[in-house]
Amino acid sequence: MERTLKKNISLYLKACFFLLFINTVTSEEGGDKNFGIVIHGGAGSYENLSAEKEKAYKDGVNEALIKGYEILKSGGSSLDAVTEAVSILEDFPLFNAGRGSVYTSKETQEMDASIMDGLNGMAGAVASVSTIKNPIRLARAVMEKSSHVLLVGEGAEDFAKQNKIKTVDPSYFHSEKNLQRVRKLKKDKKLGTVGAIALDKQGNLAAATSTGGRSNKRPGRVGDSPILGAGTWAENGFCAVSGTGHGEYFMRQLTAAEVCNKMKYLQMSLEDAANAVVERLSKTGGAGGIIAIDSTGKMSAPFNTAGMVRGMYSKEEGKTIKIYKED
């Protein structure tokens, strides 16, 4: 009797260890669940882009894509993946976000950023900040450590200090090239707003966008990037979206949220919904593009400009990085 009991206990323990082992293996490999990340580095004309500059854009996107993908692959959250991917791009002087932000007409720099968690609809955003090294990290702190959604200017910067978000002297963002651009050309628009969207192994979607805004903008102007629904949106079960382009159009048309709404209420596919919002931008004269991912990992990146720096990396479809339509 005692021997049978011992045997049963030992069999039970062996079964438990086996199940634990199987579970660890499948969760490390993510089972057969798809996951992925899409990144943009700005939409625009990209005229006369030298081979060297083209490579620099692609290298930046590649670095951010790999970082985000590795986070997702090891079971990390889509929220972490988009935060880290956007932070990497904010550190590159080439993109118009963080370090490489453009100048306003008064030769100041004012940055905007937002982040959204598709799991619970929580979101955080900052606008018109000038001393935050990585505005996307501050947007995330607003989401996680305040009861607000959007903080602007000095109030946002005080909140950064209280929450140990890295601040820098405004000279960190200085770029002679960007300054000359706003001084003499006024109409030479630097491109390079950045955004990332991701689906993790748990099926959660997240989106993040960061920008220096439009070159030569009026001080105090806020674009679509920190406005939830306009430049950024994430909603589990439907999609995550980040936009780039002429922000005033995205704000008036709630472009990012509209993709999810078309999927939700009109049962459109991700691709059809994404194409439809970009078509509407075109019809109304708004230049730009979006990146979008759905809860199965399907990805789409339509734009109506000559180019949009972009990269996609999913478990099922692998990695691609492109600038122009025909790439």
* Residues near ligand ASP, by CB under 6 A: 42, 191, 193, 211, 213-214, 223-225, 231, 244-245, 247
Number of helical (H) and strand (E) elements in the chain, helices listed first: 9, 12
- Is 243 in contact with 256 (CB distance < 8 Å)? yes
Report d(CA 46, CA 54) in Å as an integer: 9
Active-site residue (options: 83, 104, 193, 244): 193
Known catalytic residue at 4: no
Question: Based on CB atoms, which residue is closest to ligand ASP, 72 or 309?
Answer: 309
Identify the bridge partners of residue 218 per DSSP, sorted by sequence position. Answer: none
Task: Kindly state the smallest distance separating residue 190's Cβ from ligand ASP, in Å.
Answer: 8
Amino acid, res. 198 = A
Task: Kindly state the smallest distance separating residue 67's Cβ from ligand ASP, in Å.
Answer: 22
Report d(CA 245, CA 309) in Å as an integer: 12
Token pair, residue 221, equals 């102007």
Token pair, residue 319, equals 């990695």
Report d(CA 237, CA 33) in Å as an integer: 14
Question: Based on CB atoms, which residue is closest to ligand ASP, 77 or 211?
Answer: 211
Task: Kindly state the smallest distance separating residue 256's Cβ from ligand ASP, in Å.
Answer: 11
Task: Kindly state the smallest distance separating residue 231's Cβ from ligand ASP, in Å.
Answer: 6
Question: Based on CB atoms, which residue is closest to ligand ASP, 42 or 76?
Answer: 42
Question: Based on CB atoms, which residue is closest to ligand ASP, 119 or 301?
Answer: 301
Strand boundaries in the chain, DSSP class E = 36-44, 111-117, 123-129, 150-152, 194-199, 205-211, 232-235, 239-245, 288-294, 299-300, 307-314, 318-324
Task: Kindly state the smallest distance separating residue 44's Cβ from ligand ASP, in Å.
Answer: 7
Question: Based on CB atoms, which residue is closest to ligand ASP, 190 or 315?
Answer: 190
Token pair, residue 180, equals 């000359």
Could you give the residue numbers annotated as active site?
A: 193
